[in-house]
Chain A
């Protein structure tokens, strides 16, 4: 297996030689070998990227922009591991990583949570057996609190200031404990959290109240791998799934003025949100008036084939990657 971390330029920078033939297409700038599958990665700052590996290793890579190279800056080997003596390496996949410079938090199949600092060689803190099942994803709730989701359908809040190795709160889905695969927090309203499950269901939670989700939205037909609120336009949410689709959820309130079937990309359908808790909140994600709120949902992939494993969104740009070895860049998300 030859797995690589690669940096691409999405056609904005000047094209190198070749008569501008590759205008607009992503262009490989540099890459470096990576041991194991890349399970998750995130930029730590302008130059450094933290990568989670299926071998359980967490690596910081540095992108040198002057000569366009990548180098491994620091590595935490076996940050995630099992104690089983039978397996040759004993490593457990590191499934999620989140950064808040200089802090880095990782979670893995060993149910462990690791806290690192970019400038420190040793692990700052480890919570062993934080979970009896696999932790699939982690994200920051506040600077000192994190959210994790696991494979028995639980959303947990951990307060990193506290020394005890217990979550400060546990939320779970009503009904079947379907594994949760991804989590993201609303950029402005920190009590709103979205999670995606193995059955493709999108759940919206209000963590100030209750232990169950506020809305459950039937979305994909298979595992939802990632969910992201748009960082500057949080009325927009994006989810991608094993079923090969990528959905754009538009909860902005002036949706009713737009004709509902005119959208770039694929078919457009409208759903009503089912909510279970009454409350009056400004955010469109939590309000529950079915006559007033229409969320517009669009599949951005016209011919879906294999799984969309990952996506990211910033400003007008959307990037996603599929199992068909393809990367797609959409630079006009809100056109």
Chain B
């Protein structure tokens, strides 16, 4: 956002940066108080780190002062020293003060004393090198020493140093004077704790927090949402923190993840909400559902649902069916997710949608490919019927590249098998392999691979074979054909109509004639085999 030229965009980015900073602030505090559950002693150190990291940006001011020729003469010099002290950064403060001392030899004495006090200040340490009681004792002595120096008027001639000494003593007014530098009440809180109650216990924080906020704001301004959230954290009201964040933030991202973290640390009592799932799952479900409306983040939503043991799967099933399948590639990704989770219904549903789309666009090969993926025999039958219909209407097959190359997928549905075999028949016929073609044709009918509606067409296809000069059908086969024909005509319920239809009747008659003639020829032929 630093680099954006466009002011509107800049404004937008700054807002987002500030929201993100606020989130980081809250998150880190929650980590310190809830997750790490820092105890008295380390607690203060953590809070100091927190303030230094998040609350004010002193670096630019520091750079400016240090970079100048005469740092101690810089107008912001004392501001920098003060902020170092307020943040407990003693070494850095002392370093700067030494510059002042060298520049101003008259204050050398004062400087030495102050420097010594700052060096000796007892602070909590990590690890077990001292107990809290030891620390408190040491601190008490140090505090009294500072008190003595102040009362003796050691720093009387230098107001800046005197103010620093007062801060070291935890004088609230002195600290409050530096309000502008601290900028926030929680910085004030931590500074106060550093210089008056370094061994503060976690449960005591709430009192100090409340009073700090009151003193800092001083009735001039009212607390903002961020302040309320932080206050709730200091009061260890986890649910309140979550609730306030939910109200203020525009999406569930922050709250869902924070709750998840707290839940994993076993810090949230499982509050059963009205519909049975717990708060963590509820928030994760909400967040993930939000992701699903995004054109590419839905894939992340899947992972979130996977981690919701109670309702995750149901939500996933519902959401995944509603992803717009704009391209085949997207559909394939959705399918892969469903297959990995054994969501068979959704697999079938997605494949059916894609197959229907393909069918409507006359992409029969694509439609078949989708049915194969879903192992959807019914749809494969539908597609085969389409092909057959096309054939009947046009007299030739469309999409031969598909039908000729069905391979094992032919077995997916009977109708598809028939289609493949029927095409094979035509191929054999085209290659003049008549006996094989004839055998295949017969098998199609006798093995009931062909649907009854197609028998007439098949028998009609047999005609040219019957009319050939050489005999193709054996007697046995001819009898079979005749039987098929009779089955067909006998089985027809609407005999009346059938007989009146001229074309149909002619066809049947021609067939009967051809069959009879063939039978005659073949009987003779077969009868004379044993001849000369």
Contact = CB atoms under 8 A, between A and B. Distances in A.
Interface of A: 1, 37, 39, 54, 82-84, 86, 92-93, 95, 109-111, 129, 131-134, 150-154, 156, 167, 170, 172-177, 179, 198, 222-223, 242, 306-307, 323, 325
A223 B331 CA distance: 12
Give the interface centre of A37, A82, A110, A134 by most chain B CB atoms within 10 Å. A134
A223 B332 contact: yes
B299 A82 contact: no
Best-buried of B363, B368, B373, B399 by chain A (most CB within 10 Å): B363
A176 B399 contact: no
B401 interface: yes
A82 B369 CA distance: 18
A170 B365 CA distance: 15
Nearest to A242: B336
A172 B327 contact: no
B160 to A, nearest CB: 35
Interface in B326-349: 326-330, 332-333, 336
B407 A109 contact: no
Given A109-B328, A177-B372, 20 more contacts: A1-B295, A39-B329, A82-B361, A95-B329, A110-B361, A111-B366, A132-B363, A132-B399, A132-B402, A133-B363, A133-B402, A151-B328, A170-B401, A172-B407, A175-B407, A177-B405, A198-B373, A242-B336, A323-B296, A323-B333
B398 interface: yes
Contacts of B369: 133-134, 151-152, 177, 179
A151 B333 contact: no
Place the interface of chain B in its size category.
Answer: 20 to 34
Q: Among A93, A131, A132, A172, find the residue whose CB has the most chain B CB atoms closer than 10 A.
A: A132
Given A37-B327, A111-B365, A242 B405 contact: no
Interface in B393-413: 398-399, 401-402, 405-409
A1 B298 CA distance: 13
Interface of B: 295-296, 299, 326-330, 332-333, 336, 360-366, 368-369, 372-373, 398-399, 401-402, 405-409
Contact of B408 (A134, A151, A175): A175
B333 A242 contact: yes
A198 B360 CA distance: 24
Contact of A325 (B296, B360, B399): B296
Contact of A170 (B330, B364, B405): B405
A110 B407 contact: no
15 contacts: A39-B327, A83-B362, A95-B329, A109-B327, A111-B365, A129-B399, A134-B366, A151-B366, A153-B407, A156-B401, A179-B369, A198-B373, A242-B333, A242-B336, A323-B333
A242 B360 contact: no
Contacts of B366: 109, 111, 132-134, 151
Contact of B409 (A134, A176, A307): A176
A223 B295 CA distance: 21
Contacts of A223: 332, 336
A209 B158 CA distance: 98
B363 A172 contact: no
A132 B405 contact: no
B408 A176 contact: yes
A307 B327 contact: no
Nearest to A306: B299
B336 A54 contact: no
Nearest to A225: B329
A133 B365 contact: yes
B332 A111 contact: no
Contact of A132 (B296, B326, B333, B365): B365
Contacts of B405: 152, 154, 170, 172, 177
B360 A86 contact: yes
Contacts of B329: 37, 39, 93, 95
Nearest to B410: A177
Contacts of B360: 84, 86
Contacts of A173: 407
Contacts of A177: 369, 372, 405-409
Contact of B299 (A151, A152, A156, A323): A323
B407 A132 contact: no
Contacts of A132: 363-366, 398-399, 401-402
Contacts of A92: 361
A109 B332 CA distance: 13
B323 to A, nearest CB: 14
Contact of B401 (A83, A134, A154): A154
B372 A93 contact: no
Nearest to B404: A170
A95 B330 CA distance: 12
A93 B330 CA distance: 11
Nearest to A174: B407
Nearest first, the 5 closest Cβ-Cβ pairs linking A and B are A133-B365, A132-B365, A132-B399, A82-B361, A151-B369
Contacts of A83: 361-362
B327 A167 contact: no
B374 to A, nearest CB: 13
B414 to A, nearest CB: 18
Contacts of A134: 328, 363, 365-366, 369
B363 A152 contact: no
B330 to A, nearest CB: 8
A93 B332 contact: no
A242 to B, nearest CB: 6
A86 B369 CA distance: 22
A133 B373 CA distance: 14
B337 to A, nearest CB: 10
Contacts of B398: 132
Contacts of B362: 82-84
A93 B408 contact: no
Nearest to B407: A177
Contact of A151 (B336, B365, B407): B365
A170 B406 CA distance: 13
B287 to A, nearest CB: 18
Contacts of B330: 37
Given A110-B363, A176-B409, A131 B401 contact: yes
A56 to B, nearest CB: 10
B307 to A, nearest CB: 15
B328 A93 contact: yes
Contacts of A179: 369
